[in-house]
A and B are shown apart, each in its own frame.
Chain A
Amino acid sequence: MARRLRISIDYDRCVGSGICVLTAPAVFQFNERRQSSVLDPAAEPEERVLEAAQGCPQTAIFVEDADTGERLFPPPELA
């Protein structure tokens, strides 16, 4: 079974590039301020969620294993 992810957005960093919305549209959508918001962390494969987080030009998307709390992205040198 796929692990459960916890995704958080740093709104001081998010500039609404839309990269995540285009990469994993079932997980990310624009909110009313045209910043990213998380719809359903389980709606796309983990690989695509991580691709969306890595694609963010601002490193504004943080992904964790919801059960263990392990940080999956970003690594410490990019956080």
Chain B
Amino acid sequence: MLVQDDLLAPDVVADPYTYFGRLREEDPVHWNHRWGGWLVTRYEDVVTVLRDHERFSSDRMASLVLELTPADRDRLSLLINYFSKWLVFTDPPYHTRVRMLINKAFTPTSVERLRPRVRQIVDELLSAVAARRQMEFIHDFAFHLPVIVISEYMGVPPEDREQVKEWSDETSRIFFIRADEPDRRERSQKGLQHLLEYFEPLIYDRRRHPKDDLITALVQAEERGDLLSHEELLATCTVLIFAGHETTTNLLANGLVALTEHRDQWERLQQDPSLIRPAVEELLRYDGPVKATFRWVKTDTELGGKELRAGDRMLAVLAAANRDPRKFAEPDDLDIGRVPNPHVAFGHGIHICLGAPLARLEAQEAFLALSQRFPQIRLADRPREYHRTIVARALKELWVEW
């Protein structure tokens, strides 16, 4: 089959759905020579891969370490040590233990308590721009909401937010593969080091002076006598602050594009705000913030008629699975009343996004308020450009007017 293999080609970055959709129909378990891994695009195959953590590992550090020279391993030892404790890069039994210790703080029941405060933050952010008749949605709104919410929930004081956000962005460089950043591993480690130095005194403080925040809850997290070690606590603080940032921003921006480009659905939401829950699920399915997630083949196996070898890497392409016509009727249509909507935007299996209930809550409150306060909102006549990354579906800017 003749398909171009450049996952960062401008047309693939601008519209991943056409490229991955073609793969899904023509070669659903596809070896991408240029990237050097498998692309899995059908819903059933994606779900199989994400459910079967025994065949398909999340241990990214193990494979990274193999790629590095001994000198690089020494130089990046801090990064390797802490990232190897991030839930998203670990397999059971470590993953099971830590996930169970922190899961309670992120259940739908726990985050529902935050709804009034999230509503208030949304209201304040929108009030600040209302008179301007236009905004750059990402930097005026979508960027701030998740930062404020996760910072308050964790117990990071307001005056430190911007700095913590900068370090978190630096840390992220290793994941959002951009071709033009040869020093991204070093910058990532530097960012992580700043975050660790920032959180260490906060953890000591909460041990002595417990507060009603997430760091205190993590310090006290106990499941049948088990506790997080100091390094595990630090690693968990850094992954939570990091994961609480960029992905929700992209959900809000991609969702607003989808709604404003489907005026009938936008008006439907205005007229019937009770559709907000299914609407947010549909925005996640239609153009979610994460295009794909990585896995590593643990043992030689077969998938979709292809022979996979131990050590092969793969991308489970969530964006393609969410548009699979075998699973969803009229998958390329946006239907905010779509129920059921078993999309895989948050992943699937044991690594299902820990922050999903919080992201849902933020998106629900944001789109409710936007649809009620700015019913006339429309996209400004400016070109839209996405960051060149394999994983994130991330606009650089989004200008809107009303």
Q: What separation, in Å, do the CA atoms of A18 and B346 have in the docked complex?
A: 15
Asked whether A34 and B96 contact (CB < 8 A) given A13-B340, A74-B108, the answer is no
Among A1-9, A55-63, A64-72, the stretch that binds chain B is A55-63
A16-B348, A77-B112 known; A57 and B340 CB under 8 Å? no
B342 touches A13 (CB 8 A): yes
Given contacts A18-B96, A22-B96, A34-B52, A55 and B349 within 8 Å (CB-CB) = no
* Cβ proximity bits B221-259 to A, threshold 8 Å, 1 near / 0 not: 000000000000000000000000000000000000000
* Chain B positions near chain A (C-beta within 8 angstroms): 51-52, 96, 99-100, 103-104, 106-109, 112, 340-342, 344, 346-350, 352-354, 356-357
Whether A57 and B106, one on each chain, are in contact in the complex, defined by CB atoms closer than 8 angstroms, is yes
Residues from chain A with a CB closer than 8 A to the CB of B103 are 19, 55, 57
26 contacts between A and B (CB under 8 A): A10-B340, A12-B340, A13-B340, A15-B346, A15-B347, A15-B348, A15-B349, A16-B51, A16-B348, A16-B352, A17-B349, A17-B352, A19-B100, A19-B103, A22-B96, A33-B51, A34-B51, A34-B52, A34-B349, A55-B103, A57-B103, A57-B356, A57-B357, A58-B352, A59-B108, A78-B108
B112 touches A56 (CB 8 A): no
State how many angstroms separate the Cβ of B344 from the closest Cβ of chain A: 8
Name the distance in Å between B348's Cβ and chain A's nearest Cβ: 5
Q: Report B-chain residues with C-beta under 8 Å of the C-beta of A10.
A: 340
Count of A-B residue pairs with CB < 8 Å: 58
With a CB–CB cut-off of 8 A, which chain B residues contact A74?
108-109
| Set of chain A residues within 8 Å of B112, measured between Cβ atoms | 77-78
CB-CB under 8 A from A55, the residues of chain B are 103-104, 107
- Cα of A57 to Cα of B102 in the assembled complex, Å: 12
Which residue of chain B is the closest to A33 with respect to CB atoms? B51
Q: How far is the CB of B49 from chain A (nearest CB, A)?
A: 12
Q: Are B100 and A22 in contact (CB under 8 A)?
A: yes
Structural contact, B108 and A16, CB atoms closer than 8 A = no
Asked if A16 contacts B350 (CB within 8 A), the reply is: yes
Complex Cα gap A78–B107 (Å): 11
Q: Which residue of A lies closest to B348 (CB)?
A: A15
Contact A57 B107 (CB under 8 A): yes
Q: How far is B350's CA from A72's CA once the two chains are assembled, in angstroms?
A: 25
Query: Least Cβ distance of A15 to chain B in Å?
Result: 5
